[in-house]
């Protein structure tokens, strides 16, 4: 069947409940789709009768107006990709229906949103959890798919789903990378050719720290400093943060890594803020 593109909440609900016996997987996105998004769609296709994708550049999760303004948008190209994957339903809502006049509700997860991305992007996660809660309410999917690229987002959404008893499973999918290791991101297309080359420094730092860990370096501080030093060799890079944290609580590890660690970072390449992460474990 052809991919249906709808804008209104009423249309999503009509499609979703046309046959209540079918299971639905939902892939929430902000569009400007790439292979990372499509990997989530493919995973959703495997485990559900129907797959829905939302495309919504959610203004409330942007903490910088310029970031929202320059965020890439290309609905026609996105639709062509999703048709190619056999997606059943695409919801491309209007801001005015998601946040109508008089809108006043926020869904917020308190503790794990104070660290890492939450610390450096004030208000970001309240925007994320509020929109994702609304998407879940509208779509009522059986499963929802998120990328490990946004590792903290996965943890925050899982916490919200547990706390509010949303009736669905959250599925985390691995990071999809370019051939040179750069994590795929819609923001990558905003990089100049020179910046695109410089951007590989994030993955190189993660990889080099992983090698050090495998060779026996357990000190969180040593691994953190190692990544920072490597990133600073790239003149176009400016560090926002580099972290070696407990993968469950997301708090910084003091002393040695005992079993596992989440290495994560946000680094500006020119004006573009990129994030990446990997998990270490023995």
> How many Cβ atoms from other residues are within 10 Å of residue 262's Cβ?
22
184 versus 201: smaller Cβ distance to ligand AMP: 184
- Cβ atoms of residues 66 and 52 within 8 Å: no
* Binding letters toward ligand AMP, positions 179-208, x by CB under 6 A: ----xxxx----------------------
Q: What is the Cα 59 distance to its own chain's centre?
A: 15
Among 5, 12, 26, 30, binds ligand AMP (CB under 6 A): 30
| Residue from 39, 60, 129, 264 binding ligand AMP (CB under 6 A) | 39
262 binds ligand AMP (CB under 6 A): no
User: Binding residues for ligand AMP, how many (CB under 6 A)?
Assistant: 17
Nearest to 160 by CA among 126, 211, 205: 126
State whether residue 264 is helix, strand or coil.
strand
Among 15, 24, 25, 36, binds ligand AMP (CB under 6 A): 36
Is the Cβ–Cβ distance between 265 and 277 less than 8 Å?
yes
**Site map (CB under 6 A) of ligand AMP, residues 82-121, x = contact:** ----------------------------------------
Measure Cα distances from 39 to 78, 79, 81, 87, 170 in Å: 14, 15, 12, 12, 15
Q: Which is nearer to ligand AMP, 130 or 186 (CB)?
A: 186
Nearer to ligand AMP, 30 or 126 (CB): 30
**C-beta closer to ligand AMP: residue 88 or 220:** 88
Question: For 216, left (φ over 0), alpha (ψ -120 to 50), or beta?
Answer: left
DSSP output for 147-198: EGGGHHHHHHHHHHHHHHT-SSEEEEEPPPB-TTSPBP-GGGGGS-HHHHHH
Give the footprint of ligand AMP on residues 124-153 (CB under 6 A).
146-147, 149-150
Binding status of residue 40 toward ligand AMP by CB under 6 A? yes
Beta carbon of residue 152, minimum distance to ligand AMP (angstroms, whole number): 10
Residue 278 interacting with ligand AMP (CB under 6 A): no
Q: Determine the Cα–Cα distance for residues 156 and 113; give it in Å rounded to an integer.
A: 7
Q: Summarize as ranges the residues that interact with ligand AMP (CB under 6 A).
A: 29-30, 36-37, 39-40, 146-147, 149-150, 173, 175-176, 183-186
The catalytic residues are 37
């Amino acid at each position: 069947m052809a991919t249906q593109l709808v804008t209104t909440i009423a249309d999503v609900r009509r499609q979703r409940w046309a046959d209540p016996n079918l299971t639905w997987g939902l892939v929430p996105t902000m569009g400007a789709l790439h292979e990372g998004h499509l990997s989530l769609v493919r995973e959703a296709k495997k485990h559900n009768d129907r797959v829905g994708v939302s495309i919504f550049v959610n203004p409330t999760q942007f903490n910088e107006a310029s970031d929202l303004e320059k965020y890439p948008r290309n609905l026609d190209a996105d639709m062509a990709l999703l048709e190619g994957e056999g997606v059943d339903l695409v919801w491309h809502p209007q801001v005015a229906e998601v946040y109508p006049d008089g809108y006043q509700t926020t869904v917020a997860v308190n503790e794990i949103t104070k660290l890492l991305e939450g610390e450096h992007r004030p208000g970001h996660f309240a925007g994320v959890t509020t929109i994702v809660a609304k998407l879940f309410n509208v779509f009522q999917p059986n499963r929802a798919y998120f990328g490990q690229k946004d590792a903290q987002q996965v943890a925050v959404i899982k916490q919200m789903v547990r706390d509010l008893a949303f009736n669905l499973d959250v599925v985390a999918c691995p990071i999809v990378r370019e051939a040179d290791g750069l994590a795929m991101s819609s923001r990558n297309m905003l990089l100049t050719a020179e910046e695109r080359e410089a951007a590989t420094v994030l993955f190189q730092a993660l990889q080099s720290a992983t090698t050090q860990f495998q060779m026996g370096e357990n000190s969180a501080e040593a691994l953190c400093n190692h990544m920072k030093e490597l990133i600073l060799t790239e003149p176009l890079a400016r560090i926002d943060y580099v972290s070696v944290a407990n993968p469950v609580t997301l708090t910084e590890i003091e002393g040695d890594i005992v079993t596992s660690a989440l290495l994560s970072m946000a680094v500006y390449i020119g004006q573009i803020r990129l994030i990446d992460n990997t998990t270490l474990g023995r």
